[in-house]
Structures are given as structure tokens and as C-alpha cells.
């Protein structure tokens, strides 16, 4: 093992992982279509209406779910060696990097961000950075808002249909 402090890296997604992201980016549109299909069956909306509404409302949720799926898959990748780790890995199974705390270091002149303490190429000592805040929680919140928005829109649509 070299003495050079390692720099964070991101490997490309595998074909299987890309498939997961694609599925999450499409599934909500299908779900919206199924959820709204009773309107077409009851002859209250045309098939074109159904497709348009599904793409608009389902598409909004799909953007969020696709992004979350991508973010979660990236989070399982070790930033030091890009090995895949199980969801709750504390240390990378391949290189031992601390995946729970994900320590990062930087010199006072912000030259490079590294995963190990040591010396910056400029000769300054690398200082620990504050722990990164997971964006996962914010994304999950966003997704929940998106989901409720879809439910709300469906409910409004339902009420309007009944009023007609
Ligand atoms: Zn690793
Ligand atoms: Zn430096």
C-alpha cells in the first residue's frame, strides 16, 4: 500500500445498477397510469388524457425516485476503491475505509480532498473535514412530498369527477 493519501473516486454503475435506476425512473409513470385507469374505464376520461396525466404526475415522482435510486446505489460504493458494499457496511470489505463516518481531509489551501490523513502535494498537512451530511434524508423528504402531491392531485381529480 502506498503512503499517498487516497482521493475519492466514483466508479460507473454496472448494467444491473443502471437497470435498477431505469426501473425506478419509469415505475411511477406506470403506477400513475394504473391508478388513473378507472377514469378511462368509467368513460370519464380518454386514453390520451390518461397518458398525459400519467406522464406529468408520474413523471414528477419518477424524477425523484430515479434520483434516490441512483443516490442509494452510489452510497454503497466505497469512495476509496469503488468496491460495492452491503447497505449497512461499517468498513469497506475490500479496503477497510470507514464507510460509516467517511472521513475526508483537505489542506488549508483547499487543493485536494483526500480520504486519508497525510500531506498535501503542496506540503501542507491535511486537516480533517467536518463529516459530510447525508443528502439521503433530504432526498427521502423530497420524495415523500412528491408522493403526497400525487395522492393529493389524484384526490382532487376524483372529487372533480364526482362533481361533474
Ligand atoms: Zn474500499
Ligand atoms: Zn495543499
> What is the tens place of the pLDDT at every residue in 57-86?
888 889 888 888 888 888 889 999 999 988
The distance from CA 82 to its chain's CA centroid, rounded to whole angstroms, is 17
* Bridge pairing between strands 113-114 and 127-128: unpaired
CA distance 39 to 37: 5
pTM: 0.65
The pLDDT value given to residue 47: 87
CA-to-CA distance for 161 and 164, rounded, in angstroms?
5
The C-alpha R_g of the chain, in whole angstroms, comes to 23
Higher pLDDT, 134 or 27: 27
CA distance 88 to 138: 19
pLDDT for position 107 = 94
Measured distance CA(41)–CA(47) in Å, rounded? 9
Task: Give the separation between CA 136 and CA 105, rounded to whole angstroms.
Answer: 22
Return d(Cα 93, Cα 89) in angstroms, integer: 8
The ligand minimizing its distance to the Cα of 105 is 2
Mean pLDDT of 124-152: 79
Whole-number Å distance, alpha carbon 73 to ligand 1 midpoint, is: 15
Expressed in angstroms and rounded, the spacing between residue 70 Cα and the centre of ligand 2 is: 32
pLDDT at 1: 44
pLDDT value at residue 135 = 60
Residue 137 pLDDT: 67
The Å distance, Cα 8 to ligand 1 centre, comes to: 10
Q: How confident is the model at residue 132 (pLDDT cuts 50, 70, 90)?
A: low
Q: What residues are paired with 106 via a beta bridge?
A: 113, 127
Mean predicted lDDT score pLDDT of the chain = 86
Residues with Cβ within 5 Å of ion ligand 1? 78, 80-81, 83, 92, 94-95, 97
Q: What is the per-residue DSSP string for 26-39?
A: HHHHHHHHHHHHHH
Which ligand minimizes its atom distance to the CA of 107? 2
Rounded to the nearest whole angstrom, what is the distance from the C-alpha of residue 163 to the centroid of ligand 1?
Answer: 59
Amino acid at each position: 500500500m502506498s503512503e499517498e493519501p487516497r482521493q475519492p473516486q466514483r466508479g460507473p454503475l454496472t448494467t444491473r445498477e443502471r437497470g435498477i435506476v431505469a426501473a425506478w425512473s419509469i415505475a411511477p409513470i406506470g403506477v400513475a397510469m394504473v391508478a388513473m385507469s378507472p377514469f378511462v374505464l368509467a368513460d370519464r376520461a380518454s386514453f390520451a388524457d390518461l397518458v398525459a396525466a400519467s406522464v406529468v404526475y408520474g413523471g414528477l415522482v419518477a424524477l425523484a425516485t430515479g434520483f434516490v435510486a441512483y443516490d442509494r446505489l452510489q452510497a454503497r460504493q466505497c469512495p476509496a476503491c469503488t468496491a460495492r458494499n452491503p447497505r449497512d457496511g461499517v468498513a469497506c470489505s475490500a479496503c477497510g475505509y470507514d464507510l460509516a463516518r467517511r472521513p475526508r481531509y483537505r489542506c488549508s489551501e483547499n487543493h485536494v480532498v483526500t480520504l486519508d490523513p497525510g500531506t498535501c502535494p503542496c506540503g501542507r498537512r491535511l486537516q480533517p473535514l467536518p463529516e459530510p451530511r447525508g443528502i439521503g434524508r433530504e432526498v427521502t423528504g423530497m420524495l415523500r412530498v412528491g408522493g403526497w402531491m400525487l395522492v393529493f392531485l389524484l384526490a382532487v381529480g376524483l372529487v372533480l369527477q364526482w362533481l361533474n
